[in-house]
A and B are shown apart, each in its own frame.
Chain A
Amino acid sequence: MTEMTYRQALHDTLRAEMLRDDAVVLLGEEIGIFEGSYKITAGMLTEFGDQRVIDTPIAEEGFTGAAVGMAMLGLRPVVEIMTLNFTLLAIDQIVNHGAKIFGMFGGQTSVPMVIRTPGGGGQQLAATHSQNLEVWYAHVPGLKVVAPSNPADAKALLTASIRDDDPVLFLENLSLYNTKGEVPDGEQVGEIGRAAIAREGSDITVISYSRATLIALEVARQFESEGVSVEVVDLRSLRPLDRETVCASVRKTTRAVVLEDDWLTYGVGAEIAATIQEGAFDRLDAPVRRVAAAEVPLPYAKPLENAALPTAQDLTKVVGEVLDATRFTR
């Protein structure tokens, strides 16, 4: 085990996969000389050269579409899109082509590409640069969407994503890059589609993913002092979705709250609530609750941005309401 940041785990994993497989190439804006907006590709251009680390023109649809073509012919491109928001400029290539080529071409060619991109707000980057649009991609057959919350999962899932023969949207988060955690040494290949019990508990389940998992864990620790045992399920993968782990946890605790960074309406929490309704209805003691961002374009003003994003305070309030509604004695 080695303690490292989420950023370092991504960097080291990318480098390891580049060393392991010559077919892995990197494309994106600013990833070479500038070493990436968030320095994930630091040192890569120097080590691997400009044929494998490609600084592209400022055109997201262009380099994403080019990566689809590269993937169809046997390379394993890892595309860095500066933020999830800019995937909107490339969405036709992702949804209409990357996700569908294997099926529409009768399985003649797969598209083994990875799109690495950070989402999330909280950095005062305003409405067009702070969105959580993961559900747009998690909705699409043919795509896989992973969203690790810690450095160890970042390593295991990035390795798995690069080796996967299908296109994977690998969701990072601006506020996770500097977070630290223990990372197992050596090769680690995660399983895409497997959630984790990030913290065991028996009274209530909080289901989350990516940055929000850290908030869920923080709230779980606070409730422990009140004698409440909160279980935290970290989805890790939004598509495929590990419905079994979610339902097994809720069947055990009988109470469920979803914490999501995206907007409530048609958000990740809606899918989780439906999943629980289908798989644990008979064990539920209270309706599934959701904590999400305010349904506004994320404000740039710091106090407004703070008020719009879901916080530990918001989660604490809703968890408390669910406990009280079920006459849980604290």
Chain B
Amino acid sequence: MSDQDVAPVPERDLGEISSPHHHETVAPGVPVRDVTDGGPEMVQFLDADGKRVSRGNCEPYEPILEGLDPETMRSLYRDLVLVRRVDAEGHALQRQGELGLWPSLLGQEAAQVGAGRAMSTQDYAFPGYREHGVAWCKGVPPLNLLGMFRGVNHGGWDSNANNFHLYTIVIGNQMLHATGYAMGVQRDGAVGTGDPSRDTAVMAFTGDGGTAQGDYNEALVFASVAHAPVVFFVQNNQWAISEPNERQFRVPPYQRAKGFGFPGVRVDGNDVLAVYAVTKHALDEARSGQGPTLIEAFTYRMGAHTTSDDPTKYRVSAEVDLWREKDPIKRMRSHLEREGIADPAFFDGIDAEADALAAEIRTGCQNMPDPELPTMFDKVYAEQHPVIDRERAELIAYHAGFEEGN
């Protein structure tokens, strides 16, 4: 087999389901791709300079945005800054040997804060492993995240305390868990009652890489057939470790939703207001019994896949530079300044708060003790198990032998 034997892939008219972004980038062998253009359908309320705009299919979401008061706008900015700071500390602590691994969310703050803040208290989130920003919005203390990546506990947080599930590491598995949970919510009768404190939706988070997995596609089929109250939130950060979008799909995730039988929306993932409004709308629909929605937050992974990865091996720095211009925090700050919603004292105050938070979690992380060895047996079975009991006793006796000088 040689290159000459393989016919070139013909350009095809994909009809209504093509988007300019992907149409330009689908052809194999095209060296330069414009990964910054989300296409004309992408919902955007803040441009890269923080100017208020109404772009894409934004009409259903305008009323939600108009209901946002200045205090909420400022608190969204605060969350963006603090989440970025937590992430930076996580990255630094890993580099200093305090954590085993850290998957950075740098660049995806608006996608996660917008989505997390749109959720109601009773809404349940099923994250992948990068959703530190959603965790923050759901009230999970950052030290619990750090503790999990340090390995001092099994799980790190009580998922029912904040309705934020534990991280799922194998790609895309949690989409099915979320769908099943949402089907349970239906069976609990917690959908469409009209009681805003009772009606519940579920959010399932994954990335562009996850969209190829069987679990992901099966979840979308099940959610559609069950008309389940679930919102699939795909952070398209352009890269599945080293593989760009064109290695993963020809039709972008939001357009594929239609084929499964529910709406898909592409939103500017670096625009916290747009993400908030689109997610709030989708969650309201799910809670009221209108079924699933897929949201594709078009964003960019500014850092490495995890601290084990080196993106300079596979992507050009010019691409990263282009996205730096679209920074979600800079954009929101410009907007607050432009509209006179926040003054310099406010921004200084947030920066000081971020410094304090960083110092607090840094010290807290470093002071976490290693777990006792026998604890590895504690959570294997919910009930007692003879093999576990025997191995635990053997381990304790073995180590006691050293202490006695045997």
Contact = CB atoms under 8 A, between A and B. Distances in A.
Given A34-B241, A296-B380, A124 B371 contact: no
B370 A61 contact: no
Given A23-B1, A33-B314, A55 B247 contact: yes
A25 B1 contact: yes
B101 to A, nearest CB: 7
A219 B373 CA distance: 24
A281 interface: no
A52 interface: yes
Nearest to A129: B169
B371 A295 contact: no
A58 B388 contact: no
B240 interface: yes
A86 interface: yes
Given A51-B1, A265-B387, A57 B376 contact: no
Interface string B199-234: 000000000011011100000000000000000000
Contacts of A301: 150-152, 370-371
Interface stretch (A135-143, A250-258, A303-311): A303-311
A58 B377 contact: no
Most buried by A among B1, B249, B387: B1
B266 to A, nearest CB: 20
B1 A58 contact: no
B318 interface: no
Nearest to A23: B1
A294 B210 CA distance: 32
A300 B214 contact: no
A140 to B, nearest CB: 21
Contacts of A61: 214
Contacts, number: 109
A62 to B, nearest CB: 7
B281 to A, nearest CB: 29
Nearest to A57: B212
B376 A296 contact: yes
B28 interface: yes
B212 A58 contact: yes
Contacts of B241: 29-30, 34
Contact of B1 (A52, A59, A294): A52
Interface string A278-318: 00000000000000001111011111110110000000000
A274 interface: no
Contacts of B387: 265, 295
Given A34-B313, A304-B376, A299 B151 contact: yes
B386 to A, nearest CB: 11
B295 to A, nearest CB: 20
Main SS of the interface on chain B?
loop
A58 B28 contact: no
A126 interface: yes
B395 interface: yes
Nearest to A301: B151
Contacts of B395: 294, 307
B151 A302 contact: yes
B210 A58 contact: yes
A304 B247 contact: no
A235 to B, nearest CB: 25
B320 to A, nearest CB: 16
Main SS of the interface on chain A?
loop
Interface string B38-61: 000000000000000000000000
Interface residues of A, number: 41
Contacts of A55: 242-243, 247
B27 interface: no
Nearest to B315: A33
Nearest to A35: B313
Contacts of B171: 58
Interface in A51-83: 51-52, 55-59, 61-62, 75
B243 A304 contact: no
Contacts of B169: 126, 128-129
A303 B371 contact: yes
Nearest to A305: B151
Interface string A97-108: 000000000000
B129 to A, nearest CB: 10
Contacts of B247: 55-57
A312 to B, nearest CB: 15
Nearest to A22: B1
Contact of A299 (B170, B248, B314, B376): B376
Nearest to A124: B100
Contacts of A300: 100, 151
Interface in A8-45: 22-23, 25, 29-30, 33-35
23 contacts: A29-B241, A29-B243, A33-B313, A34-B241, A34-B313, A51-B2, A52-B1, A55-B242, A55-B243, A58-B171, A58-B172, A59-B214, A89-B213, A89-B214, A126-B169, A128-B170, A265-B387, A295-B391, A296-B380, A296-B391, A297-B380, A302-B151, A305-B151
Interface of B: 1-3, 6, 28, 100-101, 150-152, 154, 169-172, 209-210, 212-214, 240-243, 247-249, 313-314, 370-371, 373, 375-377, 380, 387-388, 391, 395
* List of 4 A-B pairs having minimum Cβ-Cβ separation, nearest first: A34-B242, A301-B151, A57-B212, A59-B212
